[in-house]
Structure 1
Amino acid sequence: MAKPDTIILRSEALTAMIVCRGAALYDLRLVGHPYPLVLSSREKQGPLSPPFAGAVVGRFANRIADARFQLDGVRYNLDANDGPNCLHGGRDGLSQRDWTIEDVAPSSCRLSCALPDGHMGFPGTCETVANWSVEGRSLRLTLSGRTDAPTIWSPTAHPYFNLADGGATSIDNHTVQILAGSYLPVDANGIPAGEPATTEGSPFDFRQPRPIGDTVCDHNFCLHETENRGLADAARLSCRASGVAMRLRTDRPGLQFYTGDAIPPEGATGLGGIMYGPRSGLCLETQIWPDAPNRPDFPEAIFRPEKNAQTTTEWVFETRDVPIL
């Protein structure tokens, strides 16, 4: 009997659809809200649209400058799939792979994906396990890894959120709060340029909730400077029109806020027949800081066989009747 390629998880408030391609969050519904909360194309096992939509990306999320890094004195050349840089693990990273379903329960599932030594230029045979679960109004993803040789590892989930109408209108009318006092300025290729800068007085000061408006952002916000901490609040997102709000919690030191401006203008047909275009959804990607393998002053991304590698992200959803903002 063929194994399913789609998993449905349910709690009393949430229904999540997980697909094997990229272990992706393909659809997410909140009771009392008539639209999907995330963007996804109609093809569950085809290329994800918008790019990386809902998938687990890696083995290293975000960009690595010039698609290369050194580890223990050895230089590794990676797949350059974003101009001169390596983005989200290369063109055949975790998001493009068909993951193996290991276990399914009514409200949780476990999938795994092993990448061989040298895949996309990265050293070490590295397995990543994704545990998705729903409980009440919370969606949680725990990623764990193991490797047989020193490598780098920082996967993350890449959902595009639209809390209004599933992407029919832009995210400009959303309000966001990011609990970070600094961010990483970037160069023309999206690589961190220099040291963290204060958000105070910048267009990226979201320490207090404020409308996104026409802000264009694809930057890492520095939540803290250590590799891991306990699960803690990192961001809040809300939409006054729908009355839906979301609280994001993570143990990671960074959060990439991306306003979806590079979604192709020709659009893609998504859930419910909605046509997606630029700014149809936004991303809040929990991560180790971009280009960390080349920046010893950034939180460490090195993963060794004797090391325990695990990270958790949690999204908590509420409606106007039960506000969290």
Structure 2
Amino acid sequence: MGGVTVEKDIFGKTKDGQNVDRYTFKNKNNITVQVIRYGGIVTTISVPDRNGVVEDICLGFDTIQEYEKGHPYFGAIVGRFANRIAKGKFELDGETYSLPLNQPVCCLHGGNHGFDKKLWDATLDGTRLILQYISKDGEEGFPGEVTTQVVYELTDENELYIDYTATTNKATPINLTNHAYFNLAGQGAKDVYDHTAQITAEEYLLYNEHGLPTGEIASVEKTAFDLRRPVRLGERMKVVNDGKGFDTNYCFDLVGQRKFMARMEHPKNGRSLEVYSTEPGLQFYTSYFLDGVQGKGGATYGRHSAFCLETQHYPDSVNQPSFPSTILRPGETYRHRTWYKFGIVA
């Protein structure tokens, strides 16, 4: 038997009085992960450093009320369509669909009331947490009734495994991810400049001035976006996007197969994070738009205080025929698997 345990308690109540269950995973290596059924949010990831000091490396809040007030998707399941859809419009099977513009020129992360704001049904199967949400036909403008399951599991190999599946009764775009914000120095640390970053992709998407893909896939060769060898993050962020840092989709082959995408390290304390996924894209975001959010334990989350590694399909795929398709049809099953592996550098 493995050393993983899962315990359930109540994180709080929503504003309409519903209980928000919290599930606490612990493994034999002193790693703790907490997930709530509101938004499927990962609220806590506590891991030891090389000296055995355990700290929470995942940004978030202490109460359900803070999550309900609105936030930059801390730790949440994002859907029905992660990332951006240009002008909030797409055409599918001869019909044009219009979505909420929750950004000036796009629909971001599923609209105004995406999967991150839903209270998911939750069940435990051994040490696997199974979350389910049924999105009605027309919700946020998307066609089809979609049934989504997301399974969270922590292993004794120090991997947080997330398995996403979805089915539909009508053709619809699907693109799911988890939007955890990490800081390997601890969730209250000022910035991530002292981290090292490696992303194995050889290509990335070019964007226009609105942060939307132009449709062109470019080589990272001889660009500041080349992270195939580890780089000190602060130095590289200074020269990317006029000093704003990364908000970049990296492109991968082997869609549907587990592959190594990224590795982050904090040399000072030795914590590391590796990302593996079956997805074709990895959105690397260094939290430029965090603006003094008050977080857990009195922490203040400012610009560049975290990084996100969002495994997903490419942004605006529904309007870019050359990108890998995000259309799910009746009789098909969408599946996306991601592994976040925590470690220690000697």
TM-score range, shorter chain: over 0.9
Quick check: 1:115 aligned with 2:115?
A: no
Quick check: 1:310 aligned with 2:326?
A: no
Structure 1 alignment gaps of length 5 or more: none
Quick check: 1:232 aligned with 2:259?
A: yes
Retained in 2: the 8 A contact 1:19–1:44?
A: no
Pick from 133, 148, 152 the counterpart of residue 132 of structure 1.
Answer: 152
Quick check: 1:253 aligned with 2:280?
A: yes
- What is the TM-score of this pair, normalised by structure 1? 0.93
Retained in 2: the 8 A contact 1:50–1:263?
A: no
Residues paired across the two proteins, number: 316
> Map of 1:135-146 to 2, 5 A cutoff?
135-136=155-156, 137-146=158-167
Pick from 235, 239, 246 the counterpart of residue 217 of structure 1.
Answer: 246
Task: Single out whichever of 206-215 and 115-124 deviates more from structure 2.
Answer: 206-215
Quick check: 1:199 aligned with 2:220?
A: yes
Using the TM superposition, give the Cα deviation of residue 130 of structure 1 relative to its aligned residue in structure 2, in angstroms: 0.9
Quick check: 1:44 aligned with 2:73?
A: no
Q: Summarize deviations over 1:40-96 as a string: whole Å, max 9, x none.
A: 022235437750000000111100001010111111001111112011100100011
Pick from 2, 5, 17 the counterpart of residue 34 of structure 2.
Answer: 17
Measured in 1, the distance between the counterparts of 2:85 and 2:19 equals 36
Quick check: 1:244 aligned with 2:271?
A: yes
Q: Which residue of 1 aligns with 2:290?
A: 263
Retained in 1: the 8 A contact 2:256–2:336?
A: no
Q: Summarize deviations over 1:101-151 as a string: whole Å, max 9, x none.
A: 13254x321111111111110000112111000002111100111111110
SS in 2 for 1:12: coil
Measured in 2, the distance between the counterparts of 1:128 and 1:141 equals 13
Using the TM superposition, give the Cα deviation of residue 271 of structure 1 relative to its aligned residue in structure 2, in angstroms: 2.4
Equivalent position amino acid for 2:274 in 1: R
SS in 1 for 2:67: coil
Q: Which residue of 2 aligns with 1:91?
A: 112
Task: Single out whichever of 17-26 and 48-57 deviates more from structure 2.
Answer: 48-57
Using the TM superposition, give the Cα deviation of residue 4 of structure 1 relative to its aligned residue in structure 2, in angstroms: 5.2
Measured in 1, the distance between the counterparts of 2:308 and 2:20 equals 28
Measured in 1, the distance between the counterparts of 2:99 and 2:275 equals 31
Retained in 2: the 8 A contact 1:21–1:45?
A: no
Q: Percent identity?
A: 34
Q: Which residue of 2 aligns with 1:278?
A: 303
Retained in 1: the 8 A contact 2:79–2:177?
A: yes
Equivalent position amino acid for 1:243 in 2: G
Retained in 2: the 8 A contact 1:8–1:17?
A: yes
> Map of 1:35-184 to 2, 5 A cutoff?
35-44=55-64, 46-47=66-67, 50-103=71-124, 105=126, 107-136=127-156, 137-184=158-205
User: CA RMSD of the aligned region, Å?
Assistant: 1.7
Quick check: 1:26 aligned with 2:43?
A: yes
Structure 2 alignment gaps of length 5 or more: 1-9, 11-17, 238-244
Retained in 1: the 8 A contact 2:87–2:101?
A: yes
SS in 1 for 2:223: coil
Which stretches of structure 1, 4 residues or more, deviate above 6 A after TM superposition? Answer: none
